[in-house]
Amino acid sequence: MLRCANSDFASGAEPQPPLFKGLDKSDIERVVSAGVRRKYPRGAVLSTEGEAANHFFLLLSGRARYFTLTEDGRRVILRWILPSDVFGAMTLMHDPDLYLVSTESVKDSELLVWSRADIRRVVLRHPRLLENMLATASDYLKWYVTAHLALISHSAKQRLARVLFHLAKDIGQPVEDGIALDITNEELADAAHITRFSTSRLLGDWQRKGILSKRRGKLVLTSSERLFARIPRQSALTI
């Protein structure tokens, strides 16, 4: 655990997260210095749904995701969290509140973490942070509206293609013959809200058609144009 005495964001050594938009270098340094850098292994639960929202997080490296549990204990993946994303916004509320969903790391990750007292102190001093968080909340709402519309109006094939489209943009790694995704069939099924059987069947069909391949535990999109042509235009353009 390391208290951040200076800011790589302010110096330009690291990409500036949307949270810091509109802040000058000295402001960014003050905000960052109020937080603590922490490293978490893959699979660590970072916040738990229903527990007191005592920490605010900025993902520096790695990857995480939001999830919730159904009454029968099934884990439902909600949204991926990527470097420069923030979460734990309920910590910013005037009155103490609870985390709305849970979050977990899916890779070894490093985060900048503020206690509730520290993040509220810097937010009161730098109100632009609240404006930036409102913009982030608006982006999340757009994403969830699009996801809900896809759930009620798109086929299983279209929903899975849409998930792969956004994952390719967000976490895809360019390789010699396409875009590689480090994701399991189970995670794809949860993200697309379809059964694991349907996921395996659709992926197998696309693999036979040369649209994707599987190797070394990863999914490689070898013909992304043919896959993304299966997405309704409005869904592909939103978020």
Residues 118 and 8 in one domain: yes
Q: Indicate if the pLDDT at residue 40 is higher than 90.
A: yes
Is residue 4 within 8 A of residue 37, CB to CB? The reply is yes
pTM over 0.95: no
**pLDDT at 64 (0 to 100):** 94
pLDDT at position 78 over 60: yes
Query: Can you list the alpha helix ranges (DSSP code H) found in 58-108?
Result: none
Q: How confident is the model at residue 238 (pLDDT cuts 50, 70, 90)?
A: very low
- Give the residue-averaged pLDDT of 5-22: 72
What is the per-residue pLDDT for 89? 94
Same-domain status, 190 and 138: no
Q: Both 141 and 215 in a single domain?
A: no
Verify that 25 and 64 share a domain, yes or no: yes
Check which CATH number belongs to the domain holding 220 and give it: 1.10.10.10
- Clarify whether residues 129 and 41 are in a common domain: yes
CA distance 185 to 219: 9
Give the domain-ending residue among 122, 149, 176. 149
Asked if 59 contacts 109 with a C-beta cutoff of 8 angstroms, the reply is yes
Q: What does the alpha-carbon distance between residue 20 and residue 120 come to, in Å, rounded to a whole number?
A: 15
Q: Tell me, yes or no, whether 99 and 114 share the same domain.
A: yes
Same domain? For 112 and 164 the reply is: no
Across 70-79, 109-118, 164-173, 193-202, the highest mean pLDDT is recorded for 109-118
SS3 162: helix
Both 66 and 142 in one domain: the answer is yes
Q: Tokens 């210095």: give the residue.
A: 33
Task: Return the beta strands (E) in 54-130 as ranges.
Answer: 55-61, 64-69, 75-81, 86-87, 102-105, 109-115
Domain boundary among 149, 181, 208: 149
Mark whether 101 and 18 lie in a shared domain.
yes
Q: How high is the pLDDT of residue 77? A: 83
Mean pLDDT, residues 173-183: 88
- pLDDT at site 235: 45
Is there a contact between 156 and 205 (Cβ–Cβ < 8 Å)?
no
Q: Which domain holds residue 165?
A: 155-237
Percent of the chain surpassing pLDDT 90? 54
Please tell me the predicted confidence (pLDDT) of residue 25: 93
If asked whether residues 161 and 88 sit together in one domain, one would say no
Q: Which among 109, 96, 126, 89 has a CA at the least distance from the CA of 44?
A: 109
Q: Where are the alpha helices (DSSP H) in 8-115?
A: 8-11, 25-33
Same domain assignment for residues 38 and 137: yes
At 97, is the pLDDT very low, low, confident or very high (cuts 50, 70, 90)? very high
d(CA 206, CA 211): 5
Task: Return the CATH number at 132.
Answer: 2.60.120.10
Residues found in the chain: 239
Average pLDDT rounded to a whole number, residues 123-135: 94
User: With bands split at pLDDT 50, 70 and 90, how would you rate the model's confidence at 13?
Assistant: low
CA 141/CA 72 separation, integer angstroms: 27
Q: Are residues 75 and 186 in the same domain?
A: no
Question: Average pLDDT over the chain, rounded to whole?
Answer: 87
Query: Count of domains in the chain?
Result: 2
